[in-house]
Structure 1
């Protein structure tokens, strides 16, 4: 009587688990950490879907949308997430070329996401997409799913990790809200 019961749990995981956001600190030791990312780069972002399903790999600048990207969440729809849970998911992933990454940086999106294992070619250890985007302060959301369900209606993305001081990457529950 008069007692309450609460479950207090601890969590131990890799920051690159499930769908997650990379902060600039992921690539650059002195880069902005998760706690320093402004919410304006993570929440309530207008969505621009780049349907690159027919491109395969690599994704070149010509495949990117020719529209105003400033302040948007550019989501690269490859449909590669259909391979999740198979060996195929961990090889031959669709990825942005260095030139495509630079074009995105020039466009000024708030965030770039992809429904693939990695935004870079995993065989290229220089990681040009991570280097360009994170170097410009643009967070990356990887391992996204269900991008095929997005329509042409006005939609807004939310993909906010915890504000972890010193943290470089962390899982998010990325979701899109359709605007009426």
Structure 2
């Protein structure tokens, strides 16, 4: 098998609406930190100078949202279900949703905004592939080239509600995109709502999940490195964060050599 990394890194140097903080604690400070922890929590004194060079292990302290970098959205991210039930959190999702055959649909020539089911049907016809239940559908919008910049959050295409419904009708339960969101950019949706007063243009792809539970993979990358639109397996297992609406993931495509 040949592995292709489909993940966007978590990078504190890139631009984010919710900035990432990343503090690197050196190995020397890690030794002193361990000595303090031993004293405070276990009542034991330890002199870090006993370690080679006075160093132990480095540490990283991060501050970020669960939607930073490549991540999987759980149904609880979408809000209260229309049936009034409790939506599943990311730690409750079945793992076998996230290791499945994949297919890439190229919508990179679409204008900023959304595409509907007709465009997805056209792309599937061109690939000669119909997703089976639980296949993972990945959307190549071309937005990944803007990752780390402001344009990443304003210049991309998403899906409208009927497009998501179309994929769910095929049995798909996980939909991925190389864009910031499966919906249109915030600026586009809010601008359209202000111009028309039509609230249905606000986050329609996400809000489908209040009626029909499914997961999104957002902020993928390198979809254009896949050698063909299908014939590969996607692994995008989310980090198990108790009670969270999303979890970071290392997305990988497994391709037969």
Q: What's the CA shift for 1:133?
A: 4.1
Q: Measure, in 1, the Cα distance between the counterparts of 2:156 and 2:102.
A: 23
Name whichever structure is richer in helix by fraction: 2
Name the counterpart of 1:113: 176
Higher normalized contact order (CA 8 Å, seq sep 6+, divided by chain length)? 1
What's the CA shift string for 1:5-48, capped at 9, x where partnerless? 556665442111011110001013421101110011112x1011
Larger Rg: 2
- Deviation of 1:93 (Å): 2.1
TM-superposed deviation, 1:115: 0.7
Looking at structure 1, the residues matched to 149 and 59 of structure 2 have their Cα atoms a distance apart, in angstroms, of: 34
Unmatched segments (≥5 aa) in structure 1: none
- Stretch of structure 1 that moved more, 142-151 or 83-92: 83-92
TM-score under structure 1 length normalisation: 0.87
Deviations 1:88-127 (A, max 9, x none): 2221420101111111111111310001111112225731
Instruction: Using the TM superposition, give the Cα deviation of residue 76 of structure 1 relative to its aligned residue in structure 2, in angstroms.
Output: 0.5
Q: Residues 1-180 of structure 1 correspond to what in structure 2 (within 5 A)?
A: 11-29=62-80, 30-43=86-99, 45-56=100-111, 57-64=113-120, 65-66=124-125, 67-121=130-184, 122=186, 123=189, 126-133=202-209, 135-152=211-228, 154-180=231-257
- Matches of 2:155 and 2:59 in 1, distance apart? 41
1:2 CA displacement: 11
Distance 1:97 1:55, change over 3 A: same
Structure 1 pair 173/147, CA: closer, same or farther in 2 (3 Å)?
same
Gap change, CA 1:17 and 1:2, over 3 Å in 2? closer
Q: Secondary structure at the match of 1:58?
A: strand
Report SS of the residue matched to 1:170.
strand
Describe the shift of the 1:148–1:133 C-alpha distance in structure 2 as closer, same or farther (beyond 3 A). farther
Give me the whole-angstrom Cα distance separating, in 1, the residues matched to 2:51 and 2:144.
49
Measured on the aligned residues, the alpha-carbon RMSD in Å equals: 2.4
Structure 2, unaligned stretches of length 5 or more? 1-49, 81-85, 191-200
Distance 2:243 2:66 in 1: 12
